[in-house]
Chain A
Amino acid sequence: MRDEIRQIVQQHGRLGVEMSSLSDVADLYDAGLSSHASITLMLALEEHFDLEFPERLLRRRTFESVAAIQLAIEELSSLRAPSR
């Protein structure tokens, strides 16, 4: 999943640096993730992982690093697992 997230961030984050130079905990906003690009990123993540970020997760911290994004996606996936 981590690689998928990294690829989506690379594709939609419009960062000023190469994704390969960033660790999983590196701050994506410091790497140039704008608020506008972060929305494109959210939509791409929702599409790819077939989920919706609820309002409570729509805040800066949720998308501040690859690790943070993974945490949020894992949480959302585990929530919907029983209904599948």
Chain B
Amino acid sequence: MAIPSGLEVALGASLHPGDLAQVVRRIADEVAGPAAAEVDLEARFPEQSLTALKSERLLGALVPVSLGGLGATISDIANACETLAQRCASTALIYAMHQIQVHCLVRHSHHSTLLRQYLTRIAEQQLLLASATTETGVGGDVRTSRCSVTLDGNTFLLDKNAGVISYGVNADGILATARRTPEAASGDQVLVLCTSDGTSLERTATWDTLGFRGTCSEGYQLRSRGPAEHVLPESFALISALTMLPTSHVLWTSVWLGIATDAVNRARAYLRSESRKEPGHLPAGALRLAEAVSALQTMRATLRDALQEYERAMEDPEALSAMGFALRMNNLKLAGARLVVEIVSETMRVTGITGYRRDSRYSVERHLRDAYGAGLMISDDRIYGANAAMLLVAKDA
């Protein structure tokens, strides 16, 4: 029998953020960290980390307490992502992507008994959710679909050539975008819950990349059928604006912040050991560290500001659908993706060849490889383009 964990004992009915943070810290240090190098080298799914997260019921963290979850806030999850990313960025990104999907379900399934039941199952059985928003042939624009949902009585059918489904084969459920009907316009999309029992994945692309190797973001032909009620009633455009986009940007940036924080800590430790060799002498690279820490503070403040705005606006669809809000969330993503590369590059200059090595305790090479992924997951240029268009009409952004 499993020993009751600290979290479950402390939890009772509601969640204490401090307990959550502690449990995540322990998983990061004791499970995710030790496996990180191998996960990266072999580009394999971080099985141990996910098992540990499940055993602490953390996959249902965002599910409301009334549905059996932990009732965590988006800030709690952001902290968890940052902590995990300090030890294994792939684990952290998988956790972030899962929570983005859960958040969409929590906030956009109110009128569906089936979807609410599924949320209960996520918490009970610690199901892992993945996302299939990209599609081959639409040029990376997630707000455009070629495939469409077909209804056969009370059953939906979907066949999607998904360019990327991160950890697809390890997921219990996948939220996929598609056109609402075979006749619908390319931008008239819905979000469909494809559960593993009615879904097959045929691999079409492998994942052997520079960084985030453990996310196993392979391409698949997704074929799914299930109850028509698994098509979320609200349009994807709305779900995207009110939930998926802001949640993605704050959680992704939290992951990048974790990567940057750990790289800075390694550079700091390296300099400390260097300066002990020659006391009273400012080691080469000390100024670079000061620069990196300054940028890190900017990054942290930018994230905190966006998180606060998002949490304030969370229950106000008007505020969430304002153009200024979208601009600011996009700017968070752009700043985060730029700063993580900048900061980790600085730490590489601080640590020199020691940080460049894979086999050093001060290594930041994986951090640098992971950091370059930030600007590509939804390309920065696409976001700059969207912002540039909005700024033609925005007045005080």
Chain A residues at the B interface, C-beta cutoff of 8 Å = 15-17, 29-36, 39, 42-43, 46, 52-55, 58-61
The answer to whether B321 and A34 have CB atoms under 8 Å apart is no
The answer to whether B393 and A42 have CB atoms under 8 Å apart is yes
- Known A-B contacts A16-B188, A30-B235, A32-B184; A58 and B143 likewise in contact (beta carbons under 8 Å): no
Chain B residues at the A interface, C-beta cutoff of 8 Å = 143-144, 180, 184-188, 235, 237-238, 241, 318, 321-324, 326, 386, 389-390, 392-397
A34 CB contact (under 8 Å) in B143, B324, B393: B143
Chain B nearest CB, measured from A26 CB (Å): 12
Question: Which residues of the partner chain A approach B396 to less than 8 Å between Cβ atoms?
Answer: 55
A31 CB contact (under 8 Å) in B144, B188, B389, B397: B188
- Known A-B contacts A16-B185, A58-B322; A35 and B237 likewise in contact (beta carbons under 8 Å): yes
10 A-B pairs closest in CB distance: A16-B185, A32-B185, A60-B321, A58-B323, A34-B187, A59-B322, A55-B395, A39-B389, A42-B393, A59-B321
Question: Which residues of the partner chain A approach B318 to less than 8 Å between Cβ atoms?
Answer: 59, 61
The answer to whether A35 and B393 have CB atoms under 8 Å apart is no
Chain B nearest CB, measured from A32 CB (Å): 3
- Known A-B contacts A36-B386, A55-B324, A61-B321; A31 and B395 likewise in contact (beta carbons under 8 Å): no
The answer to whether B393 and A58 have CB atoms under 8 Å apart is yes
Question: Which residues of the partner chain B approach A36 to less than 8 Å between Cβ atoms?
Answer: 386, 389
Chain A nearest CB, measured from B84 CB (Å): 32
Question: Which residues of the partner chain A approach B395 to less than 8 Å between Cβ atoms?
Answer: 52, 54-55, 58
Q: A16-B185, A55-B323, A55-B324 are in contact. List 4 more A-B contacts (CB 8 A).
A: A32-B188, A35-B237, A43-B393, A59-B322
10 residue pairs from A and B, CB less than 8 Å apart? A29-B235, A30-B180, A31-B185, A32-B186, A34-B143, A43-B392, A55-B397, A58-B322, A58-B324, A61-B318
- Alpha-carbon distance between A75 and B349 when the two chains are bound, in angstroms: 58
A58 CB contact (under 8 Å) in B180, B235, B394: B394
User: Closest chain B residue to A40 by CB distance?
Assistant: B389
- Alpha-carbon distance between A52 and B390 when the two chains are bound, in angstroms: 14
Question: Which residues of the partner chain B approach A34 to less than 8 Å between Cβ atoms?
Answer: 143-144, 187
- Known A-B contacts A55-B394, A58-B393; A35 and B321 likewise in contact (beta carbons under 8 Å): no
Chain A nearest CB, measured from B147 CB (Å): 15
Chain B nearest CB, measured from A14 CB (Å): 8
- Alpha-carbon distance between A15 and B186 when the two chains are bound, in angstroms: 9
The answer to whether B324 and A16 have CB atoms under 8 Å apart is no
